[in-house]
Amino acid sequence: MATSSKLRLNLIPSQKLLMVNENESIQRADATRVQVLSEALPYIQQLAGRTVVVKYGGAAMKDSTLKDKVIRDIVFLSCVGLRPIVVHGGGPEINSWLDKLGIEPQFKNGLRVTDAATMDVVEMVLVGRVNKEIVALINQAGGLAVGLCGKDGNLIKARPEGQEGIGFVGEVSAVDIKLLNSLVKSGYIPVVSSVAADDMGQAYNINADTVAGELAAALGAEKLILLTDTAGIFRDYKDPSTLIAKLDIQEARELIASGVVSGGMIPKVSCCVRSLAQGVRATHIIDGRIPHALLLEIFTDAGIGSMIVGSQFRA
């Protein structure tokens, strides 16, 4: 009995220490949350009522955990007074369905060769499957999402991209934002797939980055944010420490011209440059593989990716 009592007595200080450590950890976690909210407040105030166009793609569309966090971030933006608009592609899902239907995917100069059969699959997958899945997830998370493609309300008019041998690959010829404005003013979150038709009703597959950029420009958006599978723009892509956190439109053009920006980053940076030239205030290229990347980029001082601004906003 004496030994048992001694053991019980010896455990008491350890239990107290454990409780103190747990309390300190909880207090530190709470303090961090308060710090984050405090840091976010001026950004929330500044951006309330402003339009933010988010191009949703890459790993964040494929990984279910990341997908959940992106959806929650989009709903959060809406809840704190911003006006998010989501634009998406769906390349891997398209490839999966082409494979199921025995159609071999083909690419030319980085563009999907889109014959009539492939276009049918692209439209079915992007408009009917991927779009509605995103809409459902946003609604489940407490938002009010509406799914659209370029055909709805003549939102986007398409024209052929112009290269030979690529089929129904298009580019944006015109944008009519009346429907989008009506939806966002009523508190809805538009989710737009990158399929549109020409004046004759022929459907075209358009690059989702391009669609996001053209919509952002037409809307006079505060921000265009591209969720990608890269951390941003690097002076040396082999060296993570060379990430460029902020640059202006002229510097972005120079990086393309000098070859620092190359490969798959060229169309993304070019899309940002075009949007800025048409009045978008800031564009962001961020790593969608990082949980809550959207909130980290928009509502923290440091951000996580590369922000490109018009020269007039450089200071």
Active-site residues: which are they?
55, 58, 91, 209, 268
62 DSSP 8-state letter: H
Query: Among all chains, which residue has been given the structure tokens 């075009």?
Result: 274
Cα–Cα distance for residue pair 125/176, rounded to 1 Å: 24
Q: Based on C-alpha coordinates, what's the Rg of the chain?
A: 23
Residue 233 CA, chain-centre distance (Å), reads 16
Can you say whether the dihedral through the CA atoms of 304, 260, 53, 144 is positive or negative? negative
CB-CB contact of 253 with 236 (8 Å):
no
Q: Is 289 exposed, middle or buried (0-12, 13-18, 19+ CB in 10 A)?
A: middle
Question: How far is residue 175 from each of residues 150, 178, 283, measured CA to CA in Å?
Answer: 9, 9, 19
CB-CB contact of 160 with 170 (8 Å):
yes
CB-CB contact of 155 with 86 (8 Å):
no
Beta bridge partners of 117: none
Strand ranges (E), 4-125: 51-56, 83-88, 107-108, 111-112
Beta bridge partners of 52: 84, 223
Can you say whether the dihedral through the CA atoms of 196, 169, 133, 69 is positive or negative? negative
Closest to 113 (Cα-Cα) out of 57, 151, 164: 164
Beta bridge partners of 284: 225, 307
φ, ψ for residue 278, nearest 5 deg: -100, 10
